[in-house]
């Protein structure tokens, strides 16, 4: 596992913007970023449909787009800040404890489904404790219990625009199919141990995350330049 510096930008869809309109706007923006700034890599993780109404995961229903890029960016943060629905830009340190092998073409959706999580550290714990519980407690537990295909972990080091909404962590977890995430008997399996595993995960996340402000989204990932 290696750590990489990159930047992330987050945008929300408008209240009257449909999912297809939102996707088109995000892809148009991605093309403009590639043409103008020539990043080394660019990914977009987008909400493309409403999440299930009933789920053990408390999905938000807001439209959200997350752009992750490495390489030169110039004045990109200033450009992004003027976009409709801009939430913020972040300097992050990325780690990928488990990684898929990309075999699909750029601009095709990554197979399966993504659990996108934006969160804040639990009030009352210091940064060192937050990182230790996240990296050395929660990450190994997630890899042991959940059928993860790819786990992209981002520690926010600072904001790129002063008006950015603050987050401490941005995580993208990939699953090979929807059932691996949405079926609790697969997500927390095996079946007979699901209740125990659910309690373990809740206690663990509650030890370092502000659960009142956590944001979870059902999303799809696109590699736009790899």
CATH number for 101? 3.30.70
β-bridge mates for residue 46, sequence order? 65, 220
> pLDDT tens-digit profile of 191-217?
899 999 999 999 999 999 999 999 999
pTM: 0.96
For residue 175, give both structure tokens.
Answer: 């699953």
What whole-number distance in Å separates Cα of residue 220 and Cα of residue 226? 16
Structural domain count, the chain? 1
Q: What is the mean pLDDT of residues 179-189?
A: 95
Residue 189's pLDDT band (cuts 50, 70, 90): confident
Nearest to 215 by CA among 118, 113, 79, 78: 118
Nearest to 156 by CA among 68, 80, 62: 68
Per the structure, the complete domain to which residue 67 belongs is given by 3-225
Q: What is the mean pLDDT of residues 56-70?
A: 96
């Amino acid at each position: 596992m290696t750590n990489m510096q990159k930047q992330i930008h987050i945008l929300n869809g408008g209240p009257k913007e449909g999912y297809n309109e939102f996707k088109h706007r995000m892809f148009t923006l991605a093309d403009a970023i590639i043409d103008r700034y020539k990043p080394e890599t660019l990914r977009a993780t987008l909400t493309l449909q409403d999440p299930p109404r009933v789920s053990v995961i408390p999905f938000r229903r807001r439209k959200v787009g997350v752009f992750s890029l490495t390489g030169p960016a110039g004045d990109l943060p200033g450009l992004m800040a003027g976009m409709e629905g801009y939430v913020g830009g972040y300097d992050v340190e990325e780690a990928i404890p488990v990684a898929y092998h990309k075999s699909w073409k750029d601009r095709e959706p990554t197979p399966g489904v993504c659990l996108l999580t934006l969160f804040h550290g639990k009030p009352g714990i210091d940064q060192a404790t937050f990182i230790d519980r996240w990296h050395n407690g929660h990450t190994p537990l997630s890899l042991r219990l959940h059928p993860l295909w790819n786990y992209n972990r981002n520690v926010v080091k600072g904001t790129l625009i002063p008006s950015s909404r603050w987050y401490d962590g941005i995580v993208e977890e990939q699953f090979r199919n929807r059932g691996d995430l949405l079926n609790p008997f697969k997500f927390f399996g095996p079946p007979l141990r699901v209740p125990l595993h659910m309690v373990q995960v809740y206690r663990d996340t509650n030890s370092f995350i502000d659960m009142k402000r956590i944001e979870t989204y059902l999303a799809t990932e696109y590699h736009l330049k790899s």
